Structure 1
Amino acid sequence: MYDNMSEVKGGYTHLTTYFNSSDALSTDAYRLYMDDSIFIPCPAGFIHLDSFRIYEALEAGCIPIVENSRDFDFFTPYLGDNPVPMITDWSEAPVLIDRLYQSGNVENCRKQCYQWWTEYKSTIRENLARDIKNLGRSFFL
Structure 2
Amino acid sequence: MQEKSLDYLLESGTKRVPKVLWMPLGLANLKALPTTFKYEFAERPHLWAWAGDIGGKPERAEMMRALDEHASAAQIIERGVLRPFRGYAGRPGGSSAAMNVWEYSMLMRRTKFVPAPAGVSAEQFRIWEAFEAGCIPIVLAKHTAPGQVLYPLKFLGFEVVLLESWGDLPDKLLWLAEEVSHNPQVHARKQQHNSRLWARVKGAVASRIAQSVCEDGRPAAIE
**TM-score (normalizing by structure 2):** 0.51
| 1:125 positional shift | 1.4
Residues 84/4 of structure 1: CA separation in 2 closer, same or farther (3 Å cut): farther
User: Helix, strand or coil for the counterpart of 1:22?
Assistant: coil
Distance 1:63 1:71 in 2: 15
| 1:4 positional shift | 3.8
Distance 1:124 1:133 in 2: 14
Alignment of 1:36-75 (within 5 A): 36-46=110-120, 48-69=121-142, 72-73=145-146, 74=148, 75=150
Counterpart contact for 2:130–2:136, Cα < 8 Å? yes
| 1:117 positional shift | 0.6
Give unpaired runs (5+ residues) of structure 1.
Answer: none
Paired amino acid for 2:202: K
Residues 45/79 of structure 1: CA separation in 2 closer, same or farther (3 Å cut): farther
| Residue 15 of structure 1: aligned partner | 84
Q: Could you give the per-residue CA deviations for residues 57-109 of structure 1, whole angstroms, max 9, x where no partner exists?
A: 11112112223426934222487322231333221442663475244312111
Counterpart contact for 2:144–2:153, Cα < 8 Å? no
* 2:203 aligned with 1:129: no
Distance 2:102 2:143 in 1: 35
Paired amino acid for 2:176: I
Residues 9/77 of structure 1: CA separation in 2 closer, same or farther (3 Å cut): same
Distance 1:28 1:37 in 2: 14
Residues 134/87 of structure 1: CA separation in 2 closer, same or farther (3 Å cut): farther
* 2:160 aligned with 1:87: no
Counterpart contact for 1:49–1:69, Cα < 8 Å? no
| 1:17 positional shift | 3.8
Paired amino acid for 1:129: A
Q: Work out the number of aligned pairs and report it.
A: 139
Distance 2:144 2:128 in 1: 23
* 2:204 aligned with 1:115: no
Counterpart contact for 2:116–2:139, Cα < 8 Å? yes
| Segment drifting more, 10-19 vs 54-63 | 10-19
Residues 65/131 of structure 1: CA separation in 2 closer, same or farther (3 Å cut): same
| Segment drifting more, 116-125 vs 85-94 | 85-94
User: Helix, strand or coil for the counterpart of 1:34?
Assistant: helix
Paired amino acid for 2:155: G
